[in-house]
Every structure is written in C-alpha cells, then in structure tokens.
Amino acid sequence: DAKTTQPPSMDCAEGRAANLPCNHSTISGNEYVYWYRQIHSQGPQYIIHGLKNNETNEMASLIITEDRKSSTLILPHATLRDTAVYYCIVRTPNQAGTALIFGKGTTLSVSS
C-alpha cells in the first residue's frame, strides 16, 4: 500500500469547513483513497473513499487532485462532535483479507 502523509494536528471553528489534507505521491493506478476517523475511546469509523473522481456522502466530501498524488477531506460544517483523529489510507479495494494499516493521522480539534 502506498504511504500517506498527514499534518499531525489541525484546528477548526465550529460551523466552519474543516479541510484535512493527505499526500500520497506514490499511489498506484488501482489504489483507492480511504478516510476513517476515530473519536476518543471509540473504534474507527469509515467516512468515505474514492479513486479519482470527487466523492460526497452524508458525512463528508473527498477531493482528489487530477494527478491523484494528494487529496482533501472536507467536513462542510464542523461540529464539536467531529473532534477526532482522521486517518487517510491508500489501498486496493480487493483486499478484504488484509488489515488496514494506520499511520498517525491528523488530530482535528473543533472548538466553539
């Protein structure tokens, strides 16, 4: 799986958009970008994934650059409950039998 690089921490004001970057310059053609988050003392939660097109669901939007070397997870209106560690992971989707490997992620702190 390709390596990813994320800033260790970010702050965001409640109600504002939180934009979390991820660099994955060695991503290969068949690898997807997955985002998970972990709220304190809970198990990680799947957020969204994408290959090359921008994606949106009820939780977030994922913007992937045209060269696919980086992406941004966008929480459009951050709330206090979005305070968590966010993990960007690159892998192929046909890997149900292999575990996710977590880096250090980005700790997002949302404040009022």
Partner 1 sequence: GAVVSQHPSWVICKSGTSVKIECRSLDFQATTMFWYRQFPKQSLMLMATSNEGSKATYEQGVEKDKFLINHASLTLSTLTVTSAHPEDSSFYICSVGGGGSYNEQFFGPGTRLTVL
Chain residues binding partner 1 by CB under 8 A are 32, 34, 38, 41-46, 49, 85, 87, 93-105
- Is the Cβ of residue 32 or residue 109 nearer to partner 1 in the bound state? 32
Least distance (Å) between residue 10 CB and partner 1: 17
Q: 38 near 84, Cβ under 8 Å?
A: yes
Neighbours of 6 (CB within 10 A): 21
- Is the Cβ of residue 33 or residue 75 nearer to partner 1 in the bound state? 33
Q: 89 near 102, Cβ under 8 Å?
A: yes
Least distance (Å) between residue 93 CB and partner 1: 4
Least distance (Å) between residue 2 CB and partner 1: 17
User: Counting Cβ atoms within 10 Å, is residue 107 exposed (0-12), middle (13-18) or buried (19+)?
Assistant: middle
